[in-house]
Structure 1
């Protein structure tokens, strides 16, 4: 929707969350709620997004600045220093930004299930002069707690009755509920927002009063009905946060299954909204994809795997693996119980096996770190085999040092490569070695202590021990 603006209300305390953080900073599938709403607004065509902050303003502002620096839409924060109600919040946003035309949608910052398609239709509902304002309405299975909308014969809103003001008959028969979000003709909103008063028990300025104000000026006010009632659900408690997380999980997993992904148990896989998975990939229970993750086709994910901001190509097996800010190319095999730390880059057909930790290292094509090893700050060529229990000793207590391992190197078990280590192509390092000097190509490196054997020593030794009892 061209020239549309979203105002997101995110200034509230969120006291029922019992938290030291802003309510809208709490995450659903690894993503802060405020970003779900802002992303929906941008996807819905809003070229300007204004987030009204108040409680924990610095925290919310930091989330927005980190996520939307360089975004195509303008995303900005405006502080409501005095929290005097939703009408006051919108007035603060208009005054600070100068918005005075085009559709303006006002969304709550704890509305993570609203979609871009719905936001676009919501903005469209006040374009072309069809209505001065629309109220976002839903029909939930249990309407208790919601304001009820009474429609006139021509489809305009006749009344908005709060739950506490409903008669028993109204509570039982009125099912169209006000979800608390509104779309306005921007010019009319700017012209009349100053008429919202605070003559109520709380002394606050309530945005819903704009509906009656616009009607009093002869403008049409209508309902915008959302067929999926879940899009109008907000979060006010930890229990509701868990409930909406489950809904978001199911919605994403259903979309992925429709696109050709297999889930062994969809209720036990948590895939973030900014993640993609290719067809014929199998997702096992207790798999988590957080942040921005991209997984290719015909992969095995899990069980017990957590990927954060990680990409994997096709035909990968990622079993019981934690990977953060890592890149896995095609045919990579990880786990079980592998830990890929930031900066890990595994090339085609490489392997990180059982109890292997890799950090800020490139593992070459076909190279293997099969088990019980640590590789840090290392560039490894192709066709390398690292024996069990081997370590690149990259830290001297103050600085990190880099190691380079060439192509087709064989490193025996229990080898310590003290950085900066250099091992040339085709070299062989004997098991149990401590490597402190460069190893030339095709050489044998042997860094063991000399073995001493004293024959017939053991029986005498144990006899002495037994005599001491």
Structure 2
């Protein structure tokens, strides 16, 4: 039997989001809300995770999370207690303890959950949950203790009357349960006036029946923030972005103006890289060591090697090997690949093309569906005419070729190694290696004037 199993509650309809997209699939720092508790459980060593979904969001959630978790459906939204009961069919008797998280609280830290799990397991408690002390108890259940300081119940936000805004202890909706005790007592949760059953009722059930119910206090109230509307979504994202920036700065990344930098949770940045202002590193981008990114760059789902520079440019699903550089004001579209030492200057757009080592395109132009040989120079204004109105065609340029300014390469076409095109040439036929193409349409000539 495993020591732990996990349940993520993700069936809520999220009406306050005012969105056609189910609440738990809204993104924070590039990741869906529901992915945060799932990832947290995996990081905590919980390998078997059940996600409770609704009839309305099951398909969408399952499409995002795939088969890394199991699913049960809460057919009627009757509260968190009812939602948790749906996991019984899969988990009862399968683990010693059950960790329960909500699908809309992405700020809960591993540093808080691991001690909570350890305290629960080491003391053989029936229920342990995370709390914090805050002056703002909105949307939180308040923790009530007796004169001995023992937890006796949680008063849900909807049931709170007569409370002031003094500092108080609130429930963070992070729960650990002993497996046998949980399933034995879950059916005893009373139905509230609104027809729902709350997990928090298990606190009062346990304390009244001499159960071992305890709370672990976290020092950071922000950690327990959940998302119920777009305002809270933005507040949570702001906190998480600051955490991410701090993590990378403490790991050796320089940010002269951190507040203007956006880094998604799935991105990775190497030591001694400098991220300049107004730069976004989003998706699963990987940036190597000793790079300079920005200012005003967007790196999306791209890989950048060591010692690269991307100045005021956009990369989308592109790759730059070590020592490559781009910008300012250039665009690598999906499928662009720059090998080591490639230089692209300003106003260059590249799509589904590979530049071999040392190739250069210093000024404005477009390269699409092409391969550029090592050491080749592409002049300003050069364009691969890859689309004929119906189909895309390839352009292949060999090593150490020289493509003159304003050359139009009408694909499909091949320019051989060491070949040259004259300024303004419109190349409609293959240029053999070492030959010269000039004119409109281009004619093939020898590079020896006397031979012509």
TM-score (norm 1): 0.88
Q: 1:121 Cα shift?
A: 2.6
Q: Which residue does the alignment assign to 2:50?
A: 50
| Greater displacement, 116-125 / 17-26 | 116-125
Q: Which residues of structure 1 form unaligned runs of 5+?
A: 451-469
Return closer, same or farther for 1:174/1:283 CA change in 2, 3 Å cut-off: closer
Q: Which residue does the alignment assign to 1:79?
A: 73
Q: Which residue does the alignment assign to 1:37?
A: 37
Q: 1:96 Cα shift?
A: 4.3
Return closer, same or farther for 1:44/1:176 CA change in 2, 3 Å cut-off: same
Give CA deviations for 1:127-149 in whole Å, capped at 9, x if unaligned. 14531011221123523442221
Give CA deviations for 1:152-189 in whole Å, capped at 9, x if unaligned. 56664123233465565x64555211122321112221
Kept after mapping to 1: 8 A contact 2:92/2:179: no
Q: 1:406 Cα shift?
A: 1.0
Matched residue SS, 1:371 = coil
Return closer, same or farther for 1:3/1:358 CA change in 2, 3 Å cut-off: farther
Answering whether residue 134 of structure 2 is matched by residue 140 of structure 1, we say yes
Query: How many pairs align?
Result: 441
1:402 and 1:97 map into 2 onto residues whose CA distance is: 55
Matched residue SS, 2:59 = helix
2:206 and 2:116 map into 1 onto residues whose CA distance is: 18
2:299 to 307, 326, 334: 307
Q: Which residue does the alignment assign to 1:61?
A: 62
Q: 1:293 Cα shift?
A: 1.3
Q: 1:209 Cα shift?
A: 1.4
2:158 and 2:432 map into 1 onto residues whose CA distance is: 83
Answering whether residue 169 of structure 2 is matched by residue 176 of structure 1, we say yes
Q: CA RMSD in A?
A: 2.1
Q: Which residues of structure 2 form unaligned runs of 5+?
A: 443-452
1:15 and 1:63 map into 2 onto residues whose CA distance is: 21
Return closer, same or farther for 1:214/1:320 CA change in 2, 3 Å cut-off: same
Q: Which residue does the alignment assign to 1:453?
A: none
Return closer, same or farther for 1:99/1:25 CA change in 2, 3 Å cut-off: farther
Q: Which residue does the alignment assign to 2:8?
A: 8
Kept after mapping to 1: 8 A contact 2:2/2:95: no
Q: 1:208 Cα shift?
A: 1.1
Kept after mapping to 1: 8 A contact 2:132/2:170: yes
2:178 to 185, 194, 199: 185
Matched residue SS, 1:102 = strand
Kept after mapping to 1: 8 A contact 2:5/2:91: no
Kept after mapping to 2: 8 A contact 1:101/1:187: no
Q: Which residue does the alignment assign to 1:117?
A: 111
Kept after mapping to 1: 8 A contact 2:426/2:441: no
1:279 to 271, 280, 287: 271
1:100 and 1:212 map into 2 onto residues whose CA distance is: 26
Q: Which residue does the alignment assign to 2:447?
A: none
Paired residues for 1:405-416 under 5 Å = 405-416=397-408
